[in-house]
Amino acid sequence: MAITRASLKSPSALASWMQTNAVPNIFKSVTFADNTITATDDDDNKVLEIKAFTERGSGYLRAYRASNSYVSFDTLDTMPYSDDTIEVIGCDNGFIINTLVGDEGTYSWKSYRLAILVTRTNNNKVAVIFTTGESDTELRQVMTHNIRHVAFGDSTTITTQTNYAAESAAQSVLTPFATNANIGDVSYTPDAFYMPMHSAYSAGLGKFSLGSDIYITNGYWCIRDGGGETA
């Protein structure tokens, strides 16, 4: 698959994009019903579920580590929020989503930044990386703090979050995401990284070259491309 990106206006459009661009390289299937995106892995396990519904407290993002265990963001009532779009970029080794989502709180609507990265681990399991923060929070703060990292088969009793300081510099340093593996196991993302040092944090969604490799990025995270480039 060549590098591809899109600006989408609804969860159903995102589901269609995922069906076209993330099956079968990441997911076995992606379906959309009841305003819910459901994605499965090669063994038919549900690994990602995104429900965006305009009723108070009804929306969520769930990254599954077992059939009945997940790590979630539970205030996702609209996706995207207001006139925003769902920005997505993908390649053979995964995809990245940037958007605003809305939460109908007790007194008024509030918008949140939501960033999602989906790739495979060294064990060929689906890994879902995501972070959220209020939309008026500095982008750097959101993208470098409270990053959840979940792979199917992870421990169901350990839930940690990654935090790092973004250091602007003339070189870029790439660090794989690690997931909460069980004792004695190793689980990380060989083709997806966060960048504790980088030369272009403000570049946003796009691509860059490093050595002989091309990466897709949201400025703070990146995925190594495993296929051809678009023009």
* Residue 188 pLDDT grade (very low, low, confident, very high; cuts 50, 70, 90): very high
Dig out the tokens for 226 from the structure.
Answer: 């495993």
Q: What confidence score (pLDDT) does residue 229 get? A: 47
Closest CA to 35 of 6, 55, 18, 8: 55
The 10 Å Cβ neighbour count of residue 46 is 16
pLDDT in tens, 211-230: 899 999 999 999 999 864 44
Q: What confidence score (pLDDT) does residue 231 get? A: 32
Q: What percent of the chain has pLDDT over 90?
A: 81
Q: Are strands 167-168 and 188-198 parallel, antiparallel or unpaired?
A: parallel
Q: What confidence score (pLDDT) does residue 27 get? A: 98
Q: How far apart are CA 48 and CA 127, in angstroms?
A: 9
- Pick the range with the lowest mean pLDDT from 123-127, 149-153, 163-167, 200-204: 200-204
Average pLDDT across the chain, whole number: 93
* pTM flag (> 0.85): yes
